[in-house]
Structure 1
Amino acid sequence: MTIASGIGSMPGDDQAAYDDAVRLVLDQLPDLPHLPEVPGRGAIANMTGRALAVMAELGADLQPAGWRLTDAAGVDHRRARSLLGQDLDTLEDLTDGYTGAFKIQVAGPWTLAATVEKPRGDKVLSDFGARRELAQALAEGLRVHVADVRRRLPGVDRLVVQVDEPALAAVLGAKVPTASGFGRHRMVHPPEASEALAWVLDAVTEAGAEPWVHTCASGTPLPLLRTSGARGISVDLGLMTAADHDALGEALEAGDTVALGVVPTLDPAAAPTDTEITERVLRWLDMLGLDPTEVGERLVLTPTCGLAGASPAWSRQALELLAKAAAHLTD
């Protein structure tokens, strides 16, 4: 059967919003709920801060320009780790007795390299050795993180780790600005990009979880994600090219998962109906020559990206629509 899930981020700016988000995803997405991210709580809770909290061995601190690697964890890095621990405590309490599948998310090595600065400034992306070290630290940290989540959720028989790489296309296309803003960092060639991503995805697999890669940016080479070890690809259907559609079809036929973004991430002027969403997905499957009953749980319906910028009302409605559309495809 087709199932519904979320991308990760949810609206709100305090702990109560996080608690509500956990309850919402457990209620509306029973087949594949996820660990919510509520970046409105500050830099220690955003995508970068969350990934640095998972990262092993390296330290970081928050500077006026953003996160920067340091010799030892600074106060904000320690706060990010503490907040992640608190969020996992809440998740553990609210999922007591839960069984089934579950998904967690983490920023990928290339999005981190394009976001985090080296100790002396400028992005990690600018230094070959630094970006390798960051990717390896993330991979090692994920092994520990996955083990911790498994300990807290003993009833989970399928744990998905979604690696978020919204900056990968920019990294490969030499489109990431330098610190001055007047230049662009040199492109990273696909073999190096694949190698670093593979370290992270292999660590997920070795820890007994299922590695996915999510991107909400056009131009991301989807075949590279699969050859790097991704067993699931999460994308915005509206951004896909003809080549992307072919790559997604090949993934489904090979037994991998495709998570299809089909519901707006921000409050729309006119919300789609669950029937309209279902018909859109059916047209897409028909274009690929695939039957919804054959792809089953390998097709997952999601918002186009995270819901952090949405209103609480729309975030709830979006998940409700996805659940209903997924049920229609199963009928």
Structure 2
Amino acid sequence: MSKQSEFELPEGAATGVGSMPGTDAREAARVAVEATGAFPFLPELPARGPGADMIGRTLGMLVELYARVEPSGWRFGDRPGRDTKRARSWLGEDLDALEEFTQGYEGPLKVQAVGPWTLATSVETRNGEAALRDPGAVRDLAGSLAEGLGAHLEDLARRVPGARLVLQLDEPSLTDVLTGHVRTASGYQTYRAVDRTLAETTLRELIGAVGVPVVVHSCAPDVAFALLRRAGVAGLSFDFSLLTERDWDIFGEAAEAGTALFAGVVPGTDSALSDPAGSVSGVRALWRRLGLAPGTLGSSVAVTPACGLAGASPAYARAALLHCAKAARSLVDNPE
């Protein structure tokens, strides 16, 4: 098993998907560390504006590629402008806050960035079309992203030397990329579907370049689980409620192969939270249905919100992460 795909979940692990409500970096970092316990994460605070969102943050990490905000969205430019500088400044603020609350921490620590295919659907070239349209632009974007992520991870390793870093790539648009459902700038047509082998190869090369275990997250339906596993991911993160019967076999195969499964079972917006064990009852039921060993459940599945918490209230975001932690513990204490 390669270093990139080698990863063991802590028993009874819970973590966040990435985004958090509000604009207070210190409070978000405190909650992301304290509420999750054994698996903290670096929060994103998109309420601050463009550059703090997941697309803008990731574009700010690129090396020798720069983007700015236009009325139509993010577009490549010739030089770093105020949007790039703002994205980098906010990332630095978030890292400072996380460093403050992880002094002496030893264990897994998750950071998030947008994956190359979703990023290629979300930034325009100079002609106003998505980078996805131009294979050369996608190659340049993926290479720049790999280099930028490497520098980002090195910085975080210096800040939290006891951490075992895990990179989450957000790829909510991957299924649309593979099926040709990404709309052009006009909205009247769609871009050609990307060859699955090319998509897999691009992800595999990025995973190999960053040098840490990579989890791919998507809260969209029809996640390309098999492709992602072939690309070498260490974990799969998804909205558990969107699994269909045709996903069950790949879920079981992933579990048996040691792929970490991040099951999104807690609503991402303010909802009633009652019984933590009940939140993972579906996970237990599927585990039994697939004939998987009950004793491995608590070390194979991490519990997360179904998607990011940016649309939640700060009080609910904290409560949701604490609920995830209790639900994850119940998988260890009561696996059957």
SS in 2 for 1:36: coil
Structure 1 residue 37, shift from structure 2 partner: 0.6
Matches for 1:85-104 after TM superposition, within 5 Å:
85-104=92-111
1:127 aligned partner, one-letter code: D
Task: Tell me the number of residue pairs that the alignment of Structure 1 and Structure 2 aligns.
Answer: 323
Structure-2 separation of matches of 1:243 and 1:54 = 37
Residue type of the alignment partner of 1:34: F
Counterpart Cα distance in 2 of 1:39 and 1:183: 29
CA contact (8 A) 1:210 1:231 kept: yes
- Of 306, 309, 317, the match for 1:307: 309
Cα root mean square deviation, aligned = 1.3
Give yes or no for the alignment of 1:273 onto 2:275. yes
| Distance in 2 between residues matched to 1:183 and 1:253, nearest whole Å | 41
Residue 114 of structure 1 aligns to a residue in which SS? helix
Q: Give CA deviations for 1:159-214 in whole Å, capped at 9, x if unaligned.
A: 1100000000111111111111111111111011112112221122x2xx211100
Shift of 1:79: 1.4
Partner of residue 121 from structure 2, selected from 90, 102, 114:
114
Choose 290-299 or 116-125, whichever is displaced more.
290-299
SS of residue matched to 2:123: coil
Q: CA deviation at 1:280?
A: 2.5
Which residue is 2:17 aligned to? 7
Offset, 1:329: 1.5
Offset from partner CA, 1:35-60 (integer Å, 9 cap, x none): 00111111110010111122112111
Unaligned runs of 5+ in 2: 1-10
Instruction: Quote the residue 2:150 is aligned against.
Output: 143
- Preserved CA contact (<8 Å) 1:136 1:199: no
CA distance in 2, matches of 1:263, 1:189: 34
**2:174 aligns to what?**
168
* Residue 183 (structure 1) aligns with: 189
1:75 alignment partner in structure 2: 82
Q: Paired residue for 2:288?
A: 286
Structure 1 residue 120: deviation in Å? 2.6
Q: In the aligned structure 2, how far is the partner of 1:20 from the partner of 1:177?
A: 38
Deviation at 1:296, TM superposition (A): 3.7
User: In the alignment, what sits opposite 1:244?
Assistant: 247
Task: Report what 1:199 is aligned to.
Answer: 205
- Local SS of the residue matching 1:44: coil
CA distance in 2, matches of 1:72, 1:143: 21
Question: SS of 2:95's equivalent?
Answer: helix
Moved over 6 A (4+): none
In the alignment, is the contact (CA less than 8 A) between 1:170 and 1:176 conserved in 2?
A: yes
- CA shift, 1:21, in A, is 1.3
1:61 paired residue number: 68
| Post-superposition offset of 1:319 | 1.0
Within the alignment, does 1:324 sit opposite 2:331 as a pair?
A: no
Instruction: Report the Cα offset of residue 272 of structure 1.
Output: 4.5
Give the drift of 1:91.
Answer: 1.3
Residue identity (%): 46
Query: Post-superposition shift, 1:84?
Result: 0.8
TM-score by length of 1: 0.94
Instruction: Confirm or deny: 8 A CA contact 2:29 2:94 kept in the other structure.
Output: no
Match in the other structure for 1:159: 165
Give CA deviations for 1:103-144 in whole Å, capped at 9, x if unaligned: 000000011000100023111011111111111111111111
Q: Which runs of 5+ in 1 are unaligned?
A: none
